[in-house]
Amino acid sequence: MNINIHQIVSRISFELLELNSKDILLDVGTGTGDVAISSAHICQKVIGIDISRKSLKIAETKAKQHNFNNLIFAYGSFEKPDAVLNLKTYDITKILAVYSLHHLPDKLKKRSLVNLVGLLNRPGRIVIGDIMFFDDPEKYKEIFDDIGYDGGQTDFPSRVEYLTECLHNLKAKTQVVQIHPLVGIIIADFE
């Protein structure tokens, strides 16, 4: 994967969260925890969840170097974000998902978004930065590697319209930022 596209999406998604000291952030697909650790400098509390126990161990090791008392890493997925923690008790105000939702087929994405929205306090914001199609992906086959797309073997990106429709059905006001014809960011605000 071209790390530059991933870094750009991560940076802009982070900025669009508009974090403050009262926020409680859920970082879904936290990986090795870099965004969660950066957020811990700002937020009241940060919870990073991931399905990779190896990545979570790396995240915990990194976090110990910073000595944060407002940062938690736990096993969880889009389908079952509260597999280990009762996330409803955390009063989550912001949710971030960067380069992780595209691994789910559309029906599972839709159910997962319902799960995440159910964890979000109002007012709240969800930011999704990921592979999502603004145009026909076949036009861009030669640059699939640049954006981290495997052509549909294990990646199942959605059309941006599908994702925004799912969020609108959950009563979100959305904004879309196109980074590339196959990559973008959706900001979903819930009142």
pLDDT at 179 over 50: yes
Q: What percent of the chain lies above the pLDDT cut of 90? A: 88
pLDDT at 2: 44
**Quick one: what percent of the chain has pLDDT higher than 70?**
98
pLDDT given for residue 1 in this prediction: 43
Domains of the chain in start order, with CATH, are 3-190 (3.40.50.150)
Question: Are 27 and 40 contacting, i.e. CB atoms less than 8 angstroms apart?
Answer: no
Confirm whether pTM is higher than 0.75: yes
pLDDT of residue 146: 86
List, for residues 127-165, the tens digit of each pLDDT value: 999 999 999 999 999 989 888 898 888 899 999 999 999
